[in-house]
Amino acid sequence: MTATLNPYLADNFAPVQTELTVEQLTVIGELPPELNGMFVRNGPNPQFPPLGRYHWFDGDGMLHGVHIQDGKASYRNRYIQTRGFKQERQAGQALFGGLLEPSQEGFKNVANTALVWHRDRLLALWEGGEPHAVELPNLDTSGTYTFEGKLSSPVTAHPKVDPVTGEMMFFGYSLGQPPYVKYSVVSAQGELLQTVPIDLPVGVMMHDFAITEHYTIFMDLPLTFRLERLQRGEPAFAFERDRSSRFGILPRHGDNESIRWFEAPSCYVFHTLNAYEEGDDIVLIACRTNSTSVLGASPSSHEGDNRQVRTDVPLLYRWRFNLKTGTVQEQTLDDHSCEFPRINEQYLGRPIRYGYAGSTAPIELPKFDGLLKFDLDKQSVQKHSFGEGRYGGEGVFVPRPNGTSEDDGWLMTFVHDETQDRSELVIISTQAMMSEAIARIQMPQRVPYGFHGTWVTLP
């Protein structure tokens, strides 16, 4: 596939090359006066034409940030200055291959996937390597962050920060040799307290996990990596439909000896919404597909009854794992196709009533045509549509300072109008999802579609 034909290098997936700082942005509507902080979103943005076949996950990390203070907004975007980025910038060309076509130089840590704020530090994340520390509000890269040299594994793109204890949990997975997973706990003060191996029978792509108040949940799902396939000239990744899904539950400060595995039907989960404890049950809510073709692992559809059946449509699911009986129950919560689920993170690991996710558009490319609010108690859903020809990203929940309820706050996301080729940061009241956005901040340049973001309250 040539660069000109790759959809992830065209239109609003195409990279932007200019790093801007614009102090005063036009706002349509009104910014809430109590909203003071910075919205930052990560995503892939290759600085040079890629070598070989380009996968969307390959691009250099670029941060797009909007600083909101006293009813005004400013913008800046910056590349994350990784080692590989600097090497290529010095060479004036791409040096590293990607997921679909690796090069002899191996992979570069592109730091392009997500962000986590912990102990007054912003970390940019890529699940194949160490995090990069980023300064706020200027978005300058401080360098790699290894917890004072104690880090001994990659770091997932989705660490979990307990809103009560302040601890941060993360894991790192390895594909080629065991241990295939290492699990770590960081104290509220930022000290890496423990790293323990978790035994798996084979390496798997484990993108996310979940925590409750007392437990951590791992997902051993059948998107496997096997060197023998590679030696046969086949893709190393494959979705093994006949392999069960396994969910491992261990006490937060436990280890491989204290993990307990539960089996469920074959599936794949990229992102969890939340998990919590309810009596003897551990409850997990996540976006689930029957299979995935993310790395060329398997076809996304199969012939059945003379028609194409999509098996990679993500739906919100709930699992119940009973610690007393060992039984597993799973059920679909809604039939809206959705991904990039988020909650009010003040409730992370605790029972929730509300969840939010991007509404996946009925097209081949991964675009969201709106945001969904799930009321899990009433089993109802509300949709905020972006409008015709407008597509957005993950809706990051920003709690209202001194808010009075779980859903008292806003969702923020970048939206691109493909007819006008304009981007904006849209702010939606989560208690008025069906209404128009309360504010639309006009971006000074196009913001390409990307991955995950966060909101950091600043003084």
Q: Is the pLDDT of residue 229 over 70?
A: yes
Q: Give the pLDDT confidence of 241-294 residue by residue, as tens digits.
A: 999 999 999 999 999 999 999 999 999 999 999 999 999 999 999 999 999 988
Judge contact between 284 and 209, C-beta under 8 A.
no
Average pLDDT of span 228-237: 81
pLDDT band at 459, cuts 50/70/90?
Answer: confident
CA angle 67, 74, 112 (to 5 degrees): 60
- Give the residue among 180, 288, 296 at the shortest CA–CA distance from 238: 296
CA dihedral sign, ordered 412, 413, 414, 419: negative
pLDDT, position 301? 37
From residue 2, how far is each of 53, 110, 153, 297, 449 by CA, in Å? 7, 22, 35, 21, 20
Query: Which residues of 157-300 form beta strands (DSSP E)?
Result: 160-161, 168-173, 181-186, 192-198, 203-204, 210-211, 215-220, 223-225, 237-239, 245-251, 260-264, 268-278, 281-289
Whole-number Å distance between alpha carbons of 264 and 243: 10
Report the pLDDT value the prediction gives residue 296, as an integer from 0 to 100: 63
Q: Identify whether the C-beta of residue 78 lies closer than 8 Å to the C-beta of residue 22.
A: no
| Cis amide linkage into residue 179, ω under 30° from 0 | yes
| pLDDT on residue 106 | 79
The answer on pLDDT for 210 being more than 90 is yes
User: Which residues make beta-bridge pairs with 170?
Assistant: 184
pLDDT computed for residue 231 by the predictor:
81
d(CA 300, CA 317): 19
d(CA 186, CA 176): 26
- Mean residue pLDDT across the chain: 94
Sequence-distant (6+) residues with CB within 8 A of 267 are 221, 245, 288, 289, 290, 291
Say how far apart CA 219 and CA 210 lie, in whole Å.
9
Residue 305 has what pLDDT?
Answer: 38
Q: What is the pLDDT of residues 392-432, one digit of tens each?
A: 999 999 999 999 999 999 999 999 999 999 999 999 999 99
Distance in Å from the first CA to the final CA of the chain: 48
Q: Tell how strand 268-278 and strand 422-429 pair up.
A: unpaired
Percentage of the chain modeled with pLDDT above 70: 96
Residue 90: partners with Cβ closer than 8 Å, 6 or more residues away: none
Question: What pLDDT is attached to residue 103?
Answer: 79
Average pLDDT over residues 106-117: 95
Helix (H, G, I), strand (E, B) or coil at 183: strand
What is the distance between the alpha carbons of residues 118 and 15, in angstroms, rounded to a whole number?
29
Reply yes or no on whether the pLDDT at 326 is more than 90: yes
Dist. CA 269–CA 353, nearest whole Å: 21
Is residue 306 pLDDT above 50, yes or no?
no
Q: Is the pLDDT of residue 308 over 50?
A: no
Measured at the alpha carbon of residue 433, what is the angle toward residues 431 and 437, in degrees to the nearest 5? 105
In the prediction, which pLDDT does 4 show? Answer: 55
pTM, two decimals, is 0.95
Of 100 and 344, more confident:
344
What mean pLDDT comes out for the span 15-31? Answer: 97
Pairwise CA distance, residues 57 & 176, whole Å:
20
Backbone angles phi, psi at 19, to 5 degrees: -95, 120
445 by Cβ neighbours in 10 Å (0-12 / 13-18 / 19+) ranks as middle
Query: Would you state the pLDDT for residue 310?
Result: 65
pLDDT tens digits along 38-95: 999 999 999 999 998 899 999 999 999 999 999 999 999 999 999 999 999 999 999 9
3-state class (DSSP) for residue 87: helix
Q: Based on the number of CB atoms within 10 Å of its own CB, is 242 exposed (0-12), middle (13-18) or buried (19 or more)?
A: exposed
Give the pLDDT score at 232: 84
Give the model confidence (pLDDT) of 179-197 as tens digits.
Answer: 999 999 999 999 999 999 9
3-class DSSP assignment, residue 91: helix
Mean pLDDT of 126-149: 97
**Cβ-contact 299, 293 below 8 angstroms:** yes
Amino acid found at 459: P
Q: CA of 239: how far to CAs of 229, 230, 244, 285, 295, in Å?
A: 12, 14, 11, 22, 10
How far is Cα 458 from Cα 161, in angstroms, rounded to an integer? 18
Q: What tokens does 113 get?
A: 């996937």
* Residue 300, pLDDT above cutoff 60: no
Residue 233's pLDDT is what? 79
Q: What is the CB neighbour count within 10 angstroms for residue 199?
A: 14
Strand-by-strand arrangement of the 245-251 sheet: 210-211, 215-220, 245-251, 260-264
Residue 309: band (very low, low, confident or very high) from pLDDT cuts 50, 70, 90: low
| Alpha carbon separation from 139 to 115, 180, 207, 450 (Å, rounded) | 12, 33, 25, 17
